[in-house]
Amino acid sequence: MIKTSILDAGKLQAFAKERKLQPFRIKQIYQEIFNNQNIDFSQMTTLSKDLREDLDKHFSVVTLKVDKLLEDKTTTKIWFQTHDGYMIEAVIIFHRQDEKYNKNDEEKLNRITLCISSQVGCPMGCLFCVTGKLGFKRNLTRDEMVSQILFANNYIKQKFGKQEDGSLYSVRNVVFMGMGEPLLNYDNVKKAIEIMLRQEAGFSLSRRHITISTAWIIPWIKQLVKDEIPVKLAISLHAPNQTLRDKLMPIAKAYPLDELNKALSEYVNASDNRIFYEYIMIKNVTDKPELAHQLVALLRKKLAHVNLIPYNKNPAIDLVESDAASIQAFKKILEDGGLTVTVRDSLWRKMKWACGQLGYEKLIK
């Protein structure tokens, strides 16, 4: 039997009414889940034993099943199974303080980021991305997306406990950069973000700590503005001209660069958020100096930050990562042109946890 999600407010209210529970009990349940980071009713010791057992018969906190979990020092990758047997992936990233600022304790955590999936597979079919080769199965529900955070917070609690101020370690940043195109699951993503931002019965995250990575579905970028959802955007640009983008990303044919620029200008004016532009570095494809100059011309007068992402191995296509010298030369041209640039760290590629590699194991099989 598939249990009802505890986040179904209507079903929980009906449950409470039938058992004549006081309103403060509902508040206690949500405090246990979001504040105390408990996902097992047996852990919720502020509730009576009878109520815990009754809740467990009817509801689930996490609506996904953990299939496998792998850890290293900087990341944890989680394979979740949905109720209908599909597999999705999420990655927890542990950012530690730079040793020069933390000489006595180099292991001290600075912040924690969670990369979540929004779909099973992906319909975009980008040339360089493993996930797109798996095809698209379905959208994830609001509760399936939120469940990834709930599980991560409980896992982090078990692993690290409390901070110096007595609060629990938890996810600070959520990025929709896992499997799927978030804006093609707009309604559910919007509902999940509402819970992330909510102070009560939510995660109380800052809007500036939530990022949607999108292949630029223009109508839904405009809808973000209309719905006043001012979270950060990371645009999968990957090429500074229409011809090259068409080769790398099929969706580019539907939404040309000039139309994207108009939509992003509206978004920046409404949110005052800097846009992150993701640019993949593929040897002899995207790393040519003339392309760097084109990128400068495209972004120079915009509120923009460029993330250069070294290409990560894809078993479905024969592409090669740009060498370090080419990446640095490309970066210098951008910086000399007035852009702010970061070369994305690729620490997790050996484990196939890096950008564009989610679903690698399944594709190999």
- Sequence letter at residue 268: V
Nearest alpha carbon to residue 180 among 88, 287, 280, 94: 88
| CA dist., res. 159 & res. 289, Å (int) | 45
HSE at residue 164, side-chain half, CA atoms within 13 A, is: 3
Cβ 248 vs Cβ 238: under 8 Å: yes
Residue 56 near residue 90 (C-beta atoms within 8 A) = no
Phi/psi region, residue 215 (left: phi>0; alpha: psi -120 to 50; beta: rest), is: alpha
- Which amino acid, 136? F
Q: How far apart are CA 63 and CA 266, in angstroms?
A: 36
| Three-state SS at 71 | strand
| Active-site residue, from 32, 89, 144, 181 | 89
Q: Is 89 a catalytic residue?
A: yes
The C-alpha angle with vertex 174 and arms to 168 and 180, in degrees rounded to 5, equals 140
Q: Is 321 a catalytic residue?
A: no
Measuring CA to CA, which residue among 177, 192, 252, 258 is closest to residue 217?
252
Catalytic residue among 181, 335, 355, 361: 355
Q: Are 104 and 115 in contact (CB under 8 A)?
A: no
Query: Contacts by 209-213 with C-beta closer than 8 Å and gap 24+?
Result: 209/172, 209/173, 209/174, 210/173, 210/174, 210/175, 211/173, 211/174, 211/175, 211/176, 211/177, 211/276, 212/176, 212/182, 212/183, 213/175, 213/176, 213/177, 213/182, 213/278
Question: Which of the residues are catalytic?
Answer: 89, 355
